[in-house]
Chain A
Amino acid sequence: EDQVTQSPEALRLQEGESSSLNCSYTVSGLRGLFWYRQDPGKGPEFLFTLYSAGEEKEKERLKATLTKKESFLHITAPKPEDSATYLCAVQGDYKLSFGAGTTVTVRA
């Protein structure tokens, strides 16, 4: 069974204080690893797909990386608007298996 573990559960940052979120996974035959952002009271919003170890993708202050066992979401010089829950998911066949998420709070 595919498993995804995210850490930490919560992260409080000062504006401008860079940090990283971890997503550890086990899956038979990784087809893709996904990062989503979820704001309170809303549905998950797609951020990135990573397909193979060594791949990196960037979007504004976010950068996602992938190894054979884990993925990192780096937040560089975060702003208060980056506050959200970040979800990681892996696809082994047709469906996604999600982690519980990391809730990031950025204080001005």
Chain B
Amino acid sequence: NAGVTQTPKFRILKIGQSMTLQCTQDMNHNYMYWYRQDPGMGLKLIYYSVGAGITDKGEVPNGYNVSRSTTEDFPLRLELAAPSQTSVYFCASSYSWGQTYEQYFGPGTRLTVT
């Protein structure tokens, strides 16, 4: 099991450019999440998905879009990149059954917008 994988690991974008952060999990988890982590701040939820074809906004969705066409993949799209989107992005997944949902995280993508 590779768990949760993310690509790329690092990326530098110019203001106004677009890109897609890739996320794949091989644990057959129904729930998937995108977070951003800024220095001195807790992880903030951007978008989440409860299954293929179903997505919803988290705390900080502005400037981002997602899609979920398969159980395994949950890409995050940045349109018109801004300096405020400089951050480390983490993808996570969890089971949907049970009382609580332990989330398993990928290694992250460090994005700089200049």
Contact = CB atoms under 8 A, between A and B. Distances in A.
Q: How large is the interface on A (under 10, 10 to 19, 20 to 34, 35 or more residues)?
A: 20 to 34
A68 to B, nearest CB: 17
Interface in A1-52: 4, 9, 31-32, 34, 36, 41-46, 49, 51
A42 B108 contact: yes
Interface of A: 4, 9, 31-32, 34, 36, 41-46, 49, 51, 87, 89, 91, 94-101
Q: How large is the interface on B (under 10, 10 to 19, 20 to 34, 35 or more residues)?
A: 20 to 34
Contacts, number: 58
Interface stretch (B62-70, B79-87, B95-103): B95-103
A32 B100 contact: yes
A6 B100 CA distance: 21
B89 to A, nearest CB: 10
Given A87-B42, A97-B42, A101-B42, A51 B99 contact: yes
